[in-house]
Amino acid sequence: MTKRWLAERKQEKYYRLAKKLDYRSRASFKLIQMDDRFDIFREGDSVVDLGASPGGWLQVAKERVGSGKVIGVDLRPIRPIDGVVTIIGDITDKGTINELLEKLGRKADVILSDMAPNIGGHYSTDHARSVHLCAFAVNAADNILKKEGKMVAKVFMGDLFQTMKEEFEKRFRIVKVHAPDATRSASSEVYVIAKGFKGHEPEEMHTENTEKKTKFTVKGEIR
């Protein structure tokens, strides 16, 4: 049994389980596993999911917060899910953040981000783009997460990771890094699980074209 064979079997297992349980993506199991381990959701919580299409995380969030409000945003449309509000939007646009705030009515208890860039196959570029998206997710938290709120955000591992983690540490009392079992073994992705938001003044984010730059100081070049 090679490592690759075992990894494929694991993915096949989650694929079949997602089909059986009517989840839209295998990614649902990552969130289930993280919630079971890190206790993210509470009944009645309001949740914002950044990069939510096709909706696997939205389904799990809705199941776990019950009467709470769940809002998903993505560049791509999301097929309707009972009791979930969805927005088509780019999280790097200020207008999307304003729309989220308006739909929420109050600040969120939990912010999720499973956002991923289009994978180009060049490792350091994909990593830098992922960190860049994560910086925008953190900026969304500065704008729409309530004090003591929680956040779960995906980042691809690499040399900019530590600087990104420090941005979380500035804002949250507890910061953990985790790779759930449902994550592909070959994947470089990890999740930052952050609790106890201290509040943070939103920083100005630059969003010109697709080559967007943030005010976060990251070591290395963002392409």
Q: Which residues bind ligand SAM (CB under 6 A)?
A: 24-25, 27-28, 51-57, 73-76, 90-92, 114-116, 133
Catalytic site residue from 69, 150, 154, 195: 154
> In the complex with ligand SAM, which residue's Cβ is closer, 54 or 149?
54
222's tokens: 């963002």
User: What is d(CA 58, CA 83) in angstroms, rounded to the nearest whole number?
Assistant: 10
> In the complex with ligand SAM, which residue's Cβ is closer, 121 or 147?
121
> In the complex with ligand SAM, which residue's Cβ is closer, 84 or 194?
84
User: What is d(CA 86, CA 77) in angstroms, rounded to the nearest whole number?
Assistant: 8
Give least dist CB 60 to ligand SAM, A: 8
Q: How far is residue 17 CA from its own chain's centroid?
A: 22
Angle value at C-alpha 137, between 131 and 141, nearest 5 degrees: 140
Give least dist CB 164 to ligand SAM, A: 16
Strands in 108-113's sheet, in edge-to-edge order, are 84-88, 70-74, 47-50, 108-113, 145-156, 189-197, 172-178
To the query of whether residue 154 is one of the catalytic residues in this protein, the response is yes
> In the complex with ligand SAM, which residue's Cβ is closer, 92 or 214?
92
Give least dist CB 31 to ligand SAM, A: 7
User: What is d(CA 153, CA 114) in angstroms, rounded to the nearest whole number?
Assistant: 6
In this structure, are residues 83 and 69 in contact, taking their beta carbons and an 8 Å threshold? Answer: no
Give least dist CB 67 to ligand SAM, A: 22
User: What is d(CA 124, CA 190) in angstroms, rounded to the nearest whole number?
Assistant: 15
Q: Give catalytic residues, as residue numbers.
A: 154
